[in-house]
Structure 1
Amino acid sequence: MVVIYGINQHLNPIKAALSDAIHYCMQSVLGMPEDKRAHRFVPLEKEDFYYPGGRSDAYTVIEINLMKGRKPDTQKQLIKTLFKEIESAIGIEPIDIEITIKEQEKYQWGFRGITGDEAVDLKYKVNV
């Protein structure tokens, strides 16, 4: 699951294109299937979104939640691909993008009435 935060005036108009860019990266780097897009947008009022100096109102935070198993080099490739693709497709400069990857153990995920460690029919690989 991916959670995206930003100032509502900047985030709302680009939601669809940003979702496409993020999912493209998830597919190309992690091998996620087309139908596994799980994005949650959290548009905030400017007064509710504090961010570091030197950033513009386009500042966007992307939190990527993954089941544990991706190699550090794969995660780094995902982050760098996101910076490039978002700048190219949306026009947000890397200085205005913050990305964090949060990994949880497979047993800490619950979907379709089971836990992630019980899933044997995933259409993608976790250990890449």
Structure 2
Amino acid sequence: MGQIKIYGLKEHLVPIRTKVSDILHSCVVDAFQYPENKRAQRFFYMDPEDFFYPEGSSDQYTIIEISLFEGRSITAKKYLYQLIFERFEKEFKISPNDVEITLTETPLYNWGLRGKPADELKLDYKVSV
């Protein structure tokens, strides 16, 4: 299971949100061998007065937070970062300097979904990749 939160300036993010969603999902599918039909994303649109970003970043600065089951290898995580940086630069002309990604992993027993703790579910995908 993975849930993605995307934060950015409203005027920048709204026009590209569908494509951002598609690109992020393709990166997760490719890096984590994740099912195509599992997409959980939320966009958080920020007004300039509410969004402070590091010096040297542009108004395209985008924060991506991904919550997921623990179990992916370091190699798979680094591949995910690489794909996101490359595809955001290619598709949106957003510099890797303007993209920040954090992964938060939790054990399956810390997730409740489909009426059960996730460690009691039969998943249709691998977590250990």
Normalised to the residue count of structure 1, the TM-score between the two structures is: 0.96
Deviation at 1:5?
0.2
Q: What amino acid sits opposite 1:51 in the alignment? A: Y
Aligned pairs for 1:1-128 (under 5 A) are: 1-120=3-122, 122-128=123-129
Q: What amino acid sits opposite 2:10 in the alignment? A: N
Structure 1 runs of 4+ off > 6 angstroms? Answer: none
Deviation at 1:90?
1.8
Q: What amino acid sits opposite 2:90 in the alignment? A: S
Return the alpha-carbon distance in structure 2 between the equivalents of residues 39 and 86 of structure 1.
17
Unaligned runs of 5+ in 1: none
Return the alpha-carbon distance in structure 1 between the equivalents of residues 115 and 126 of structure 2.
20
Return the alpha-carbon distance in structure 1 between the equivalents of residues 22 and 39 of structure 2.
9
Normalised to the residue count of structure 2, the TM-score between the two structures is: 0.95
Return the alpha-carbon distance in structure 2 between the equivalents of residues 25 and 91 of structure 1.
17
Unaligned runs of 5+ in 2: none
What are the superposed Cα offsets for residues 79-115 of structure 1, whole Å, 9 maximum, x if unpaired?
1111001111222110100001110111111111111
- Residue 103 of structure 1 aligns to a residue whose secondary structure is strand
Deviation at 1:23?
0.5
Give the % identical residues.
45
Deviation at 1:61?
0.1
Return the alpha-carbon distance in structure 1 between the equivalents of residues 93 and 36 of structure 2.
24
- Residue 24 of structure 1 aligns to a residue whose secondary structure is helix
CA RMSD in angstroms comes to 0.8
Aligned length in residues: 127
Return the alpha-carbon distance in structure 2 between the equivalents of residues 113 and 86 of structure 1.
36
CA contact (8 A) 1:17 1:90 kept: no
Q: What amino acid sits opposite 2:55 in the alignment? A: G
